[in-house]
Structures are given as structure tokens and as C-alpha cells.
Amino acid sequence: MNGWTGRVGLLTVAGAVALLAGLAHGQDDASKVRALIRDLKDPDFDKAYGAAEQLRKYPQQRALIVAGLIDTITTRDWNRCGGDMRQTIAGALEELKAKEAVVPLLDLVKSGKSIEHECAE
């Protein structure tokens, strides 16, 4: 093996390691996002609100987050401040420019669930 071939081999290995590390990091983030979405669906308002705030840190996991936010806003309820929680989730969907959320949001409006500010905090 000459020097040139050796350098190419080293670069290939380094690239593969970096790719695997990136994938692992992505998988790590994805599992964190999945855990946060579970918390978001928790009936406890404080836990859910905290999770909604944390989700903002993972914009690269957009697809996973948008699907989780839409499912949560249309199907879940909280022990208090449900309207505020739905507003928070809707705000996150707007930040993510999630056009696919419009139909579910209109269904939410149709459902008659509270979408109004209810709590002081």
C-alpha cells in the first residue's frame, strides 16, 4: 500500500466514524424528543409545559416534533390550563411553520375544546 492509498484509507475511516457519531447523536436527540413528547402528553400541566419549552431545543427533529405536537393538541387534555397548553403548542407549530397543522387545528376549533387563555401564569 503506497502513502496516497493509505491517506485515502485513513480519511475514509475518519469520515465513517464522523458519520456514525452524527447518526448516533441524531438518534440520541430523537429519543430525547420522543421522551419529551411523552411528557407533553402527560395530564400534569407543569410537566407538559416544561416539555413544550424543552422541545424548542431540537429544531433539527422537526418531523418528529410536528407529528407529536399535532397528535397532542388534538387528542390530549391537562389537569388545568388546557387552553393555555393548546396555545403553547400552537405557537410551537407556528414557529416550525407547520402548514400540515392547519387542518388538525381547525378540527380542534370545531371540537369546542378550550383554546382560550385560562390561567394567570
Q: Contact between 121 and another protein (CB under 8 A)? A: no
Question: Closest Cα partner for 61 from 16, 18, 99, 98?
Answer: 98
Long-range contacts of 89-94 (CB under 8 A, 24+ apart): 89/40, 89/52, 90/115, 92/52, 92/55, 92/56, 92/65, 93/66, 93/69
CB nearer to another protein: pick between 5 and 116? 116
Q: Contact between 67 and another protein (CB under 8 A)? A: no
CB nearer to another protein: pick between 8 and 109? 109
For the record, the C-alpha cell of 119 comes out as 390561567
Query: What value, to the nearest 5°, has the Cα angle with vertex 118 and ends 114 and 119?
Result: 145
The least distance separating another protein from the CB of residue 79, rounded to whole angstroms, comes to 20
Torsion region of 97: left, alpha or beta (phi above 0 gives left; psi -120 to 50 gives alpha): left
Mask: binding to another protein, 68-97, rule CB under 8 A, as x and -?
------------------xxx-xx-xx--x
The least distance separating another protein from the CB of residue 62, rounded to whole angstroms, comes to 14
Question: Residues binding another protein: what is the number (CB under 8 A)?
Answer: 22
Q: Contact between 103 and another protein (CB under 8 A)? A: yes
Which chain residues interact with another protein by CB under 8 A? 86-88, 90-91, 93-94, 97-99, 101-103, 105-106, 108-110, 112, 115-117
